[in-house]
Amino acid sequence: YLSTFRPLVKHEVDKNKAQWKTMGPAKVEVPSPKNFLRKHSKEPKLPARKKEQDSKKLPALSVPRRTDHPVMGIQSKKNFINTNAVAAVTGLPKKPQPIYVDRRHGDKYLLEPSGLVPKYIKKKDYGVTPKYITRRNEEMKRAQKEYEDNILEHLKKRAMKRLSDEERISLLQGLKKNWEEAYHEFQCLPVEIDTISKKMHKEKLESQMKQLEHDIEVIEKHKVIYIANE
């Protein structure tokens, strides 16, 4: 089998065969040897300086010009020599500026801006307690007072209460009545105790009567009795 497009493909291959033999296009303009890289050629160029319009205007001078004439006719009767002498005698001597020396070579520095002078003691609020500390102390005192109030309230709830004479007599009569009932129940027990339940019931009555006798003795012995509020 032979393709009908074989001659066409062969012709195109032969036509483009030498196209990639060089780097880039085949025909390139050769750079001229006169266009070589020059010094400072890549540095940015500043725009041209504009001429100042006021270049002819002279600056203001602090001294009189050569063409200026002094004011004539003004005279003063002041004796500057005597005035300067009196000012030098009566004037206060100039105080030397405080300095400090921090090296053995005698290097001198001003004392005031060095930080060695305690200027902070001259502030208006020097020695005054800051507001945030005062506010914090007040909050601490308020919290402490609330805590103490809660403790006192808790103690008052659990405070001891004194029994009155009527309550003491009523309590004593009730204990005696309970003892009589327990004693009556104890007397009703059978003579022969042959079971475990009867034995336990007897021991319970004996323990109850013994506790009641102890409570009655304590109440009769102490005239003033306090009880805790639960």
Q: pLDDT tens track of the chain, all 230 residues?
A: 888 989 888 888 777 666 556 565 566 677 888 888 889 888 888 888 776 655 566 667 678 888 888 888 788 888 999 999 999 899 888 888 899 888 888 888 898 888 888 888 888 888 889 899 999 999 999 999 999 888 888 877 777 777 788 888 898 999 999 999 999 988 888 888 888 888 898 899 999 999 999 999 988 888 877 776 65
Closest CA to 212 of 175, 167, 170, 173: 175
Give counts: helices (H), strands (E), the chain: 5, 4
The predicted pLDDT at position 26 comes to 60
**What is the helix (H) or strand (E) element at residue 211, kind and residue range?**
helix 196-221
The predicted pLDDT at position 54 comes to 54
CA dihedral 215, 218, 223, 228 (to 10 degrees): -60
Stated pTM of the model: 0.34
Distance in angstroms (rounded) separating the CA atoms of residues 112 and 48: 51
The predicted pLDDT at position 40 comes to 87
Counting Cβ atoms within 10 Å, is residue 142 exposed (0-12), middle (13-18) or buried (19+)? exposed
